[in-house]
Amino acid sequence: MATTTATLTLSSADLSSQPLSITSTMALNKAGTVVGLDQSTGLSRKVYAAAQTDATLISASDYDDNIHAKVYIKNPGTSSTDFFSLTLGASNISIGRLYGGDFIFLPYEGEFDIDISSSTTSMELEFIVIYQAA
């Protein structure tokens, strides 16, 4: 049985009048169980030589609808102006932008594609899908 844990820490000395320190940890388990998610795409990196518009990064057709999964996507670049836009499905529902160093970690049901658009050329992206077998 796989054991995978995600931890997110938010901290700031000057965001508000009081210091901020939040840490949250969760086990990545199969839906409704305490059994760990047991499948992974493996951590992958893609380099886009040309600018992209609504290119499929994660295809819903690779997964059963209503799977229990987690998706990690990161822009490992360092630019404060170059970004990837993330959208869901054919309607291109906007999730947000990942500037250099930004990442997202989100639940995924496998119902819609996750698409990316890049703001310029020669950009790199890393991602992994951790999921349960059907």
Give 22-71 pLDDT, tens digit per residue: 999 999 999 989 999 999 999 999 999 999 999 999 999 998 877 889 99
Query: Closest by alpha carbon to 84, among 100, 63, 68?
Result: 100
pLDDT at 134 over 70: no
What pLDDT score was predicted for residue 133?
78
CA distances from 115 to 17, 69, 83 (A): 39, 17, 13
pTM for this model (two decimals): 0.92
Structure tokens at 121: 């050329």
pLDDT at 2 over 90: no
Considering the segment(s) 37-131 as one domain, its CATH architecture is: Sandwich (2.60)
Q: What is the 3-state secondary structure (H, E, C) of 9-23?
A: EEEECCCCCCCEEEE
Is the sign of the CA dihedral 25, 31, 36, 39 positive or negative? negative
- What is the rounded average pLDDT for all residues in the chain? 94
